[in-house]
């Protein structure tokens, strides 16, 4: 068997530096936006006492969920021993660290008091799932960091499997924790479903893999290295399965909600007459994020098209973004029913009416900067560490049996 050679992403080309400069620019703009919001206060955003978590949270949750899924390839490679995935494990670890960091930066900069980070890190309320999440995130960095090390350093090779297992379970816990943030909001109808946590796990598989495919393809394009047909086909099939599963879970989620009479209101809202949220659900989540990618992935017409795979992955991400948007913002916009059997005639606090939310530019810039942070970390990491195999040509006949 040919030995897998890993090499730093070495390219002095303007492609690499140009790309990095572009990412740095986006980050700079995003930091400016964050400063603008912190300096003035949240009144310059579209957020209010009704929609308390806005666009930055959508980005943050999306990235954090994807981060845990990006580790999937590594898990398949070393925990479940999939030889086709094994050489991709290192990059998968790096990507998951990058995505998590990107998401956390956004989350942090959207706090009312980001300067109190130290309070958040030292004062814990152990009853709070949010506090547990802080611990889960920190632990994730440590464990995945160790995992990367074990994968890269021969001397630690014997720890690879146990740490791989630890990372695998840790990241399931992390996604469950992220999903549970919503599970604890007992009074909000949209979130009152046991299926929320498993749904987040399957969402993470799908978004994480889509991120993985896109970054892998661009890294190899940047570095002028080759990826074999077979390997891409594997990733492609896997993505197809995950996308299908996300659609399936969404279906189950809405069907269970339709079964529960008290939840008919919120279901009507998302599926039928919620305006922007309904469009986002059907057009964004279902069509862009599900149906079209499935078509691109499975239609024989695009059998070997790399472009189709890249486009499908991008659409999965786009659709996933809409899905998180509908969950986070749509779930808040739908009014809580405090007085069953009664209709709210007047209230100065928007009781009983759908809350309005128009995200501001600054929020969007901060969120996009989070994605850029993730990508920058991956680009720099891949250049400094040996995470990417020299070549991902398909193995010769019989090698992976």
Partner 1 sequence: MSHNNDQPDLRRRDFIGKTVLAAGAASIAPGVMLTVANAGSDAGVSSKVRWGMLIDANKCADGCSACVAACNQENGIDLIERPAGQSDAMWDAQRPQWIHKVKLKDNLTGEITNLPMMCQHCEHPPCVDVCPTGASFKRADGLVMVDRHTCIGCRYCMMACPYKARSFIHQDVAAQRTGTPRGKGCVESCNLCVQRLDAGDQTTACQDACNREGYQAILFGDLKNPDSEIARALKAHNSRQIRADLELNTGVRYSNI
Interface residues with partner 1 (CB under 8 A) are 38, 40-43, 47-50, 52-53, 111-114, 116-117, 119-120, 122-131, 134, 181, 184-188, 332, 336, 338-339, 341-351, 355-356
CB 109, min distance to partner 1, A: 11
CA atoms within 13 A on the CB side of 87: 22
CB 108, min distance to partner 1, A: 9
State which residue, 41 or 300, has the beta carbon closest to partner 1: 41
State which residue, 48 or 256, has the beta carbon closest to partner 1: 48
Non-local (6+) Cβ contacts of 170 within 8 A are: 136, 139, 140, 143
DSSP track, 76-100? IIIIS--TTTGGGHHHHHHHHHHHH
CA gap 315, 335 in Å, rounded: 30
CB 110, min distance to partner 1, A: 9
State which residue, 186 or 301, has the beta carbon closest to partner 1: 186
Whether 272 contacts 198, CB under 8 Å: no
State which residue, 134 or 245, has the beta carbon closest to partner 1: 134
CB 249, min distance to partner 1, A: 22
State which residue, 123 or 261, has the beta carbon closest to partner 1: 123
CB 117, min distance to partner 1, A: 8
CA gap 89, 96 in Å, rounded: 11
CA gap 288, 210 in Å, rounded: 14
10 Å CB burial of residue 349 (0-12, 13-18, 19+) is: exposed
10 Å CB burial of residue 168 (0-12, 13-18, 19+) is: buried
CB 222, min distance to partner 1, A: 37
Q: Whose CA is closest to 293, among 221, 207, 392?
A: 207
CB 47, min distance to partner 1, A: 8
Q: Whose CA is closest to 171, among 211, 200, 149?
A: 200
CB 338, min distance to partner 1, A: 6
State which residue, 194 or 356, has the beta carbon closest to partner 1: 356
State which residue, 244 or 352, has the beta carbon closest to partner 1: 352
CA 159 distance to own-chain centroid:
28
Which H or E element spans position 338? none
State which residue, 300 or 341, has the beta carbon closest to partner 1: 341
Per-residue tokens: 261: 């009479």
State which residue, 107 or 317, has the beta carbon closest to partner 1: 107
CB 386, min distance to partner 1, A: 37
State the sign of the Cα–Cα–Cα–Cα dihedral 163, 165, 171, 176.
negative
DSSP class of residue 389?
A: E
């Amino acid at each position: 068997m040919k030995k897998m050679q890993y090499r730093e992403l070495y390219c002095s080309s303007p492609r690499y530096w140009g790309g990095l400069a572009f990412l740095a620019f986006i980050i700079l703009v995003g930091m400016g936006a964050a400063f603008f919001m912190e300096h003035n206060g949240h009144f310059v955003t579209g957020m209010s006492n009704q929609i308390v978590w806005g666009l930055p949270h959508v980005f943050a949750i999306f990235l954090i969920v994807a981060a845990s899924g990006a580790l999937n390839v590594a898990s398949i490679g070393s925990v479940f021993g999939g030889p086709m995935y094994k050489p991709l494990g290192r990059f998968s670890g790096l990507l998951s660290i990058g995505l998590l960091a990107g998401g956390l930066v956004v989350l942090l900069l959207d706090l009312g008091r980001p300067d109190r980070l130290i309070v958040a890190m030292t004062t814990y309320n152990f009853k709070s799932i949010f506090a547990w999440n802080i611990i889960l995130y920190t632990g994730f960095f440590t464990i995945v960091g160790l995992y990367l090390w074990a994968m890269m350093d021969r001397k630690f090779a014997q720890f690879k499997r146990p740490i791989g297992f630890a990372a695998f379970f840790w990241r399931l816990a992390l996604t469950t924790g992220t999903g549970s943030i919503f599970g604890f909001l007992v009074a909000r109808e949209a979130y009152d479903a046991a299926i929320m946590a498993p749904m987040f796990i399957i969402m993470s598989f799908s978004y994480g893999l889509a991120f993985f495919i896109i970054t892998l393809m661009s890294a190899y394009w940047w570095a002028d290295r080759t990826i074999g047909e077979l390997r891409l086909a594997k990733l492609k099939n896997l993505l197809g399965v995950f996308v299908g599963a996300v659609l399936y879970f969404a279906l189950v989620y809405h069907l269970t909600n339709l079964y529960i009479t008290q939840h008919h209101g919120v279901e009507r809202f998302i599926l039928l007459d919620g305006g922007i949220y309904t469009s986002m659900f059907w057009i964004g989540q279902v069509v862009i994020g599900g149906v079209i990618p499935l078509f691109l992935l499975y239609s024989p017409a695009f059998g070997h098209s790399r472009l189709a795979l890249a486009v499908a992955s991008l659409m999965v991400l786009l659709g996933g973004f809409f899905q998180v948007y509908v969950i986070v913002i749509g779930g808040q916009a739908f009014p809580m029913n405090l007085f069953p059997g009664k209709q709210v005639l007047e209230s100065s606090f928007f009781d009983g009416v759908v809350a309005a939310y128009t995200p501001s530019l600054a929020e969007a810039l901060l969120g996009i900067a989070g994605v850029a942070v993730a990508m920058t970390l991956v680009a720099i990491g891949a250049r400094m560490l040996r995470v990417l195999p020299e070549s991902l040509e398909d193995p010769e006949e019989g090698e992976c049996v």
